[in-house]
Amino acid sequence: MVRKKSHRDSGTAGGSQRQLRVGELVRHAIADLLMRGEIHDPVIEGHLITIPEVRMSPDLRLATVYVMPLAGKDTDDVIDAFERNKKFLRGHIAHQINLKFAPDLRFRADDRFEEAERIERLLRSPEVKRDLEKDDE
């Protein structure tokens, strides 16, 4: 028996088209606040911060904001600062984006750069080079 795919089951990795679009709107709203310096917190003001991605839950009530300070320094302090300013950010997002509910925000460190570096080190390791040379022969 073949099950029909519901409209909620999207084949995309980041979620449905709507989740991706709303996540991008939330990301732009937070990045805009950072760019204008409207978040008055000494930790946030003292760092250059990138928001590479925002992932939305299927019901659009929870936004996971991935945060990366420049060079990855003081990541925990920056995430704590965002947690302290969560109410302000949520209010700004509610006014900026027309949604039925303002999404609850949670902040996570973006570890994609660390993961990419780990894979690079693995590929440059002598064991992998040795195995690749065997394949070339």
Contact yes or no for 32/75 (Cβ under 8 A): no
Tell me the pLDDT of the chain (137 aa) as tens digits.
555 444 444 445 668 999 999 999 999 999 999 999 899 999 998 889 999 999 999 999 999 999 998 877 888 999 999 999 999 999 999 998 888 889 999 999 988 877 888 888 888 888 877 877 776 66
Does the model's pTM come out above 0.85?
no
Sequence-ordered strand ranges (E) for the chain: 49-56, 62-69, 104-109
**Site of tokens 């449905």:** 16
DSSP category for residue 73: T
Distance (Å, rounded) from C-alpha 71 to C-alpha 78? Answer: 13
Class of domain 17-110: alpha beta
pLDDT, position 137: 62
Rg (CA), the chain: 20
pLDDT, position 124: 85
Contact yes or no for 28/57 (Cβ under 8 A): no
Domain ranges of the chain: 17-110
